[in-house]
Amino acid sequence: MKRIGLFCKTVKSPETLEFIRFVIGILKQYGCEVIVDIDTANLLNTYGEAKTSIPSVSDVIIVLGGDGTLLSAARAIGDKEIPIVGINLGSLGFLTEINKDGVREIIDMIIHNKARFEKRMMLNAVVHRDGKDIEAFSVLNDVVFNKGALARIIDMQTYVNNSYLTTFRGDGLIVSTPTGSTAYSLSAGGPILYPTLENILITPICPHTLTNRPIVLPPDVVVTVTLKSESQDVFLTLDGQVGFALKKDDSVNITSARFKTVLITPQNRDFFDILRTKLRWGER
């Protein structure tokens, strides 16, 4: 693994730029070819690639940023299944779980093929309008139906494998992967799923009917959500980063993707330790 792509969050401080230089220096000590995105390359006075092109020329991708940066990298990689490792320059960091102090150790593991690989389920979402598929997306975390600030409660008619589930009425609906269970779904009262499970999780957002509760489904189902409200202020949000405006009677088919996101994790990594640390379990 000698061609290493760097996905960097937008550089806003000299400290971040200096850390990027530090990581590049370590990689070059191992004889790696380093590919950086154009924006970061301009700051480094070197050649760069478009972020969407980096997966095509990389054996491994190192994400320098927060979970949002890693999510965008996962979508850019798509079906290529190129391994990703996240170095946390943000705050919470469920996905970018390695801190700055651990960067040299994880790079050494990658170079010497000692790192652990963990496959994470992804979702495909296809928007259907007027008898045609008009947009398709892949996500690592979640597909979210949400209303704008001024929109009323929205109605989302939901089927699982063509069997009617219910019509959710509320502020929105989250359809997530196990990886996404610790993101927006958790804030909406959804359960935490072990990240390597393969399940589809449906979590209503502020449901009008208080008995509506999250439901965990097997990975081989098709979840179909149809917007039944007249409101023009309803959006489909993908991984919290990409938005798409929905119209009345638009349907979204959500399925497990045939490809996975491959994360590189330290050998001593413990998911339950991450939960205790990030969610501060056990503190008083």
CB proximity list for 6: less than 8 A, separation 6 or greater = 20, 23, 24, 34, 35, 36, 37, 40, 54, 61, 62, 63, 64
Q: Does 143 lie in the same domain as 232? A: yes
- What does the pLDDT read at residue 272? 85
The residue segments making up the domain with residue 237 are: 122-258
Stretch 23-27: mean pLDDT: 95
- Is residue 241 classed as helix, strand or coil in its secondary structure? coil
**Who wins on pLDDT, 169 or 52?**
169
- What does the pLDDT read at residue 1? 62
pLDDT at residue 91 greater than cutoff 70: no
- What does the pLDDT read at residue 92? 65
CATH code at 72? 3.40.50.10330
Q: Does 108 lie in the same domain as 147? A: no
Residue 101 a catalytic site member = no
Asked if residue 28 belongs to a domain, the reply is yes
pTM value is 0.92
- Judge whether 158 and 225 are in contact, CB under 8 Å: yes
- What does the pLDDT read at residue 115? 85
Count of beta carbons in the 10 Å neighbourhood of residue 17: 15
- What does the pLDDT read at residue 30? 93
Given 67, 142, 171, 250, the catalytic residue: 67
Asked if residue 284 belongs to a domain, the reply is no
- What does the pLDDT read at residue 224? 98
pLDDT at residue 90 greater than cutoff 70: no
